[in-house]
Amino acid sequence: MPRYILSLDQGTTSSRAIVFSDQGTIIASGQQEFSQHFPQPGWVEHEPQEIWQTTLSSARQAIAEAGCLASDIAAIGITNQRETTLIWDRNTGEPVYPAIVWQDRRTADQCLALKQQAGLEDKINKKTGLLLDPYFSATKISWILDNVEGARERAERGELAFGTVDSFLLWQLSGGECHATDATNASRTLLFNIHSQQWDDELLETFRVPAALLPQVKDSAADFGNAQSKWLGAEIPVAGIAGDQQAALIGQACFQPGMAKSTYGTGCFMMMNTGNKALHSSHRLLTTVGYRLNGETTYALEGSIFMAGATIQWIRDGLQLICNARETQPLAEQTGYENPVYMVPAFAGLGAPYWDPQAKGAIMGLTRDTGIKEIVTAGLQAVCYQTRDLLEAMAEDGVKPAALRVDGGMVVNAWLVQFLADTLAISIARPQVTETTALGAAFLAGLQVGIFSSLEQLAELWVHEQAFEPSLPEEARERLYQGWIDAVNRVRVDA
Ligand SMILES: Nc1ncnc2c1ncn2[C@@H]1O[C@H](COP(=O)(O)OP(=O)(O)O)[C@@H](O)[C@H]1O
Ligand SMILES: O=P(O)(O)OC[C@H](O)CO
């Protein structure tokens, strides 16, 4: 009886594959980076063939390293960079254009024009939980249809298929048999009504997207068809799909309303389970589908910070103050939390809750004795202060999490996680398996094929590694945070 689960984690900069045991432990993994294309300022593209080939070879690598047979794998779970948009020919499987990545801003003018229509953004926000922003898929789809010769006509004739990365990988794995996605990925397109759980005709008309392009939307744990045996050596059912941040919510076992996770990679994505209520945020946080199981939707509130680990990369590669991200911890330990220097890493504007695309970054509070360690520490502290901004916004929306589970490449930095606990004044938990995104997809696939029986069982598989409790006196916490608010207010253009 096959007991392993293969998780395919297709991210923005690399494709990873992990073989998990039926206890949710990592058996083996494979990973491959792929190229980023920036054909014009503000544009970001991926080569679809590279997305597919790196996924396939990392899956083969993981299976080989696990020393198991493909027939030992009971199911595949897919998790993916969200919003990234692909359109391909239904007959040949050939993409008509490269993948337009979630970071791509080429449709900013189109979004601005739509925002001019009175009440439109509000209506869209009510239906989708999202904002009228190039981040999401809808305007990327219409850009392809308008700019690739003949694409709109072919789409209307039903010859083309649209998908986010999960859908594209499923199409490839199944040899063109399955054109489907899950509700979490659909909820990032601006075309999906998160209340009715249907593609929305009015939104399709607004964004001029023919319905014939769209994949079928299924639960996050569902029968998505089979990966053909020619790819991995045996026919394997694809049984779970979720966007990567939602998969991390599941991998962190945040199954109760009020439970929240924050992932600190290149950017930071914080997500809180709000149960069966799609909470509307008055602070421009996103309302999204957390997961959908057995037809029942669990919603989440999401806030994103564009620059988290990327700030450390900039300190390393741009400023060349350090050689390795690991150096940030001893430097911050030397500085201590009482740092008069503030860094506002608004390199790509400010995300939630400010959404100020014009803001530019700044370093403030410099004196003659400021050195490398204060600037590096300010970079780490900025990540924590921004998380508090998100938490405050959630609290004002009426739902403050009592604790936070963290993951992502940055959380190996214990100083950072401790300062996070101090800044938020809540308990922070770091799990043993920090590959929570891949774990979430494995949980979903395992649920569908009966390896796991319930969310309660999954919650028991979540293993705590370390807790970080707030220890900073309230006076210091509030004074330091006020310094951040003052710094942010100085860079905001729209305030
Ligand atoms: N010890 C550390 N302290 C602070 N930041 C770190 C540390 N180690 C790695 N990082 C940051 O974490 C990020 C990598 O995290 P990862 O989860 O792999 O990102 P992604 O999945 O977005 O590529 C990098 O941006 C790096 O700068
Ligand atoms: O691939 P990541 O981890 O950078 O995540 C990207 C997000 O899904 C974008 O919404």
What pLDDT digit, counting tens, does each position of 304-325 carry? 888 899 899 999 999 999 999 9
3-state secondary structure of 17: strand
The tokens describing 254, both together, are 């945040």
Q: Which of 376, 387, 373, 446 is nearest to 422 (CA)?
A: 387
The CATH number fitting domain 4-244, selected from 3.90.420.10, 3.40.50.620, 3.40.50.1820, 3.30.420.40: 3.30.420.40
At residue 36, the pLDDT reads 86
On whether the CB atoms of residues 225 and 237 are closer than 8 A, the answer is: yes
Q: Is the pLDDT of residue 363 over 70?
A: yes
181 lines ligand 2 (CB under 6 A): no
Element at 456 (helix H, strand E): helix 455-461
**Which amino acid appears at position 20 of this protein?**
F
Give, for ligand 2, the residue of 105, 266, 270 to mutate: max count of ligand atoms closer than 8 Å to Cβ: 266
On whether the CB atoms of residues 77 and 239 are closer than 8 A, the answer is: yes
What are the residue ranges spanned by the domains of the chain? 4-244, 254-431+463-495
Element at 247 (helix H, strand E): helix 244-251
Ligand 1 midpoint to CA 443 (Å): 24
On whether the CB atoms of residues 390 and 271 are closer than 8 A, the answer is: no
At residue 495, the pLDDT reads 64
Burial readout 20-43 (b: 16 or more C-beta within 10 A, e: otherwise): bebebebbbbbbbebeeeeeeeee
DSSP assigned state of 83: S
At residue 2, the pLDDT reads 65
The tokens describing 128, both together, are 């989708």
Which amino acid residue places its CA nearest to atom 4 of ligand 2? 12
Burial readout 311-346 (b: 16 or more C-beta within 10 A, e: otherwise): bbebbbeeeebbeebebbbebbeebebebebbbbbb
Percent helix, strand and coil across the chain, each to the nearest 5: 40, 25, 35
DSSP assigned state of 316: I
* Cα–Cα distance, 467 to 269 (Å, whole number): 20
Does this model's pTM top 0.95?
no
Q: Residues marked as binding for ADP? A: 12, 16, 266, 309, 409, 413
The CATH number fitting domain 254-431+463-495, selected from 3.90.1280.10, 3.90.1150.10, 3.30.420.40, 3.40.50.10420: 3.30.420.40
Ligand 2 midpoint to CA 11 (Å): 6
Going from the C-alpha of 133 to that of each of 136, 137, 334, 378, the distances in angstroms are: 6, 9, 41, 29
Which amino acid residue places its CA nearest to atom 3 of ligand 2? 11
What's the mean per-residue pLDDT of the chain?
A: 94
Contacts for 38 with CB less than 8 Å, ≥ 6 apart? 44, 45
Per-residue pLDDT tens digits for 328-345: 999 999 999 999 999 999
Which ligand has the shortest distance to the CA of 266? Answer: 1
Point out the ligand 1 atom lying closest to the alpha carbon of residue 412.
1
Local confidence band at 348 (pLDDT 50, 70, 90 cut-offs): confident
Average pLDDT of the residues in 202-216: 97
3-class SS letters over 146-205: HHCCCHHHHHHCCCEEEECHHHHHHHHHCCCCCCEEEHHHHCCCCCEECCCCEECHHHHH
Per-residue pLDDT tens digits for 2-39: 689 999 999 988 899 999 999 999 999 999 988 888 89
Ligand 1 midpoint to CA 19 (Å): 22
Q: Is the pLDDT of residue 470 over 90?
A: yes
* Cα–Cα distance, 372 to 380 (Å, whole number): 13
* Cα–Cα distance, 428 to 55 (Å, whole number): 32
Task: Give the pairing of strands 4-10 and 73-80.
Answer: parallel
Average pLDDT of the residues in 250-271: 94
Ligand 1 midpoint to CA 265 (Å): 5
Q: Is the pLDDT of residue 46 over 70?
A: yes
At residue 1, the pLDDT reads 61
Q: Is the pLDDT of residue 146 over 80?
A: yes
Point out the ligand 2 atom lying closest to the alpha carbon of residue 265.
3
**Which amino acid appears at position 209 of this protein?**
V
Going from the C-alpha of 432 to that of each of 125, 243, 311, 326, 412, the distances in angstroms are: 37, 22, 25, 19, 11
Local confidence band at 350 (pLDDT 50, 70, 90 cut-offs): confident
Average pLDDT of the residues in 435-452: 96
As for the ipTM of the complex, it is 0.96
102 lines ligand 2 (CB under 6 A): yes
The tokens describing 266, both together, are 């290149």
Domains 4-244 and 254-431+463-495 share a fold: yes
288 lines ligand 2 (CB under 6 A): no
